[in-house]
Copies of this chain bind each other. A is one copy, B any other.
Amino acid sequence: MATIREVSRLAGVSIATVSRVLNGASTVAHPTRERVLAAIATLGFKPNAFARGLATNRSGGIGVTVNEISSPYFGAFIRGVEQVVRAEGIHMMVSSGYATAALERASVDFLLERRCDGLIVQSDALDDEALIELARDGDTPVVVFGRSVAEIGSSCVVLDNELGGSLATEHLLRHGHRHIGHIAGPLSYADARDRLMGYRRALVAAGIAFDDRYVVESTFLEEGGAEAAAHLLERAPDLTAIFVANDQMAAGAMRTLRETGHAVPDDISIIGYDDVFLARYLTPTLTTVRQPLVEMGRAAADLLLERLDGERREVVHRFDPELVERQSVASAVR
């Protein structure tokens, strides 16, 4: 692999001049520049990113941690980030934390060690203090995705999950349902707590007492949704609708209902959350609450870039979810 010195020798200039050509910074006379470019081409020279990083203390890349890289949910988010970042010629390193505090810590440390110029952190397991410390103390700008931490609010990009929970529940109320169950995600996740909160708020606003027999905590996974639905049917046999805290669990719940002879939506209505890809393929297609994940990914990247280059951009910090009506909700008959 050729170095800048070999290029300089071939072009008959000093290494400083080659460096100047590479970075386009200072003025280089036209013929000289041409000679250097020719030498670069013939040698197939590629600047060594380590040497450059060592000298500038910048990597030209940002780091992103997500729960799980292979999930369609995070895929959409990553895609949004990549759209913005690629357009600026910046690179992205992704690391999965699998919702485990130790692994998430390791991911963050790993990315910091690589001297990422900035970090977008989607974390389920780290506590607020850890995030605050990260965002405040480090010299690396940090944007937090999907969690609202008051102390560093201006670094957060979030969805209003409580609003989403209300939207879903109100939709069921509008269809005349009064006995509405809720399959929640793990309540250790703020997302799950907020959705539950929205559900509760909507019920109370409609004059219906909150009853925790109608609520089951589960896993955000399909299997968990299937089991939770079975519990719910047992504990609250009179329910006519269920708000499920994500689409994956909704798919599982629908399977259980089908297997136990409950028609969806004729006997029981189902509403999901996320509007992942899958929602359109279930039978019946799933009414759900959409998160604009790609847009949110873009917003997170924009926010980080703003921190990096100091240029102000229009950044939305809080996104509103949106109801997507499909076939899995019908009017209550009883």
List the interface of chain A (C-beta within 8 A of B). Answer: 1, 46-51, 53-54, 57, 59, 69-72, 75-76, 78-79, 82, 91, 93-96, 109-110, 112-115, 139, 251, 277-278, 281-283
Contact = CB atoms under 8 A, between A and B. Distances in A.
Counting every copy of the chain, the complex holds 2
A292 to B, nearest CB: 15
B50 A54 contact: yes
A115 B49 contact: yes
Nearest to A284: B283
A307 to B, nearest CB: 18
9 contacts: A46-B109, A49-B113, A69-B78, A70-B78, A91-B114, A94-B94, A251-B281, A278-B281, A283-B283
A71 B75 contact: yes
Contacts of A110: 91
Contact of A115 (B48, B70, B94, B113): B48
Contacts of A115: 48-50
Contacts of A1: 139
Contacts of A112: 46
Contacts of A72: 70, 72, 75, 277
In order of increasing CB-CB distance, the 7 nearest A-B pairs are A70-B75, A283-B283, A50-B53, A50-B54, A70-B79, A49-B114, A50-B50
Given A71-B75, A278-B281, 15 more contacts: A48-B54, A50-B50, A50-B59, A50-B115, A69-B75, A69-B94, A72-B75, A72-B277, A82-B96, A91-B114, A93-B93, A277-B278, A278-B278, A281-B282, A283-B283
Nearest to A54: B50
Given A115-B48, A278-B277, A278-B281, A79 B69 contact: yes
A330 to B, nearest CB: 18
A215 B115 CA distance: 52
Nearest to A74: B70
Nearest to A114: B49
A75 B283 CA distance: 25
Contacts of A82: 69, 96
Contacts of A277: 72, 278
Contacts of A49: 50, 53, 113-115
A95 B61 CA distance: 12
A55 to B, nearest CB: 9
A110 B93 CA distance: 12
A93 to B, nearest CB: 6
A272 to B, nearest CB: 13
